[in-house]
Amino acid sequence: KIGAKFDFVIFRKGQRVSAVVATINQPPFMPQQPSQAPGVKTVAEYDWLGAEFTPLIPSVKPYVDRGVYVADVGGILAKSGLAVGDVVVELDGKKVNDLTSFIALTKDVSPRVGFLFDVIRAGEPLYITVKR
């Protein structure tokens, strides 16, 4: 229940430690994109391997300080497990700061060889391997 408080007793290094934890609303890590007219795309986007990537949307920015937002997904990336609402923070071990850096990093990877996404999904880190 939101707002509930729980008492915990933790044993750490032989010591007993008490803590009270309160629950809060879950942050909106998977917000919906605003609806658009059919065929109209956002100004800043990048279509790559069947997915559409955009800069971080405003509702995600308070929780994630870098990366790109997965606005739509299909093809090999969907088959590999990438999902709408994911935030890609690394590509093949290299940090993704924004859409521009992501586009540059995509030039150095190939699905034939394989590559790795480091994403945030619903607030949790997740690795996704992509290979044909």
What CATH number corresponds to the domain at position 94?
Answer: 2.30.42.10
Between 103 and 37, the more confident residue is 103
pTM of full prediction above 0.85 = no
Domain membership of residue 24 (yes or no) is: no
Q: Where would I find the H helices in 42-114?
A: 75-80, 99-106
Residue 1 placed within a domain: no
Number of domains in the chain: 1
Handedness of CA 75, 79, 80, 81 (dihedral sign): positive
Residue 91 lies in a domain: yes
pLDDT band at 23 (very low <50, low <70, confident <90, very high): confident
| Residue 22 within a domain | no
Range of the domain at 89: 46-130
- Cβ-based burial of 88 (10 A; exposed 0-12, middle 13-18, buried ≥19): buried
- Could you tell me if residue 66 is inside a domain? yes
**Residue 85 lies inside a defined structural domain of this protein:** yes
Beta bridge partners of 11: 16
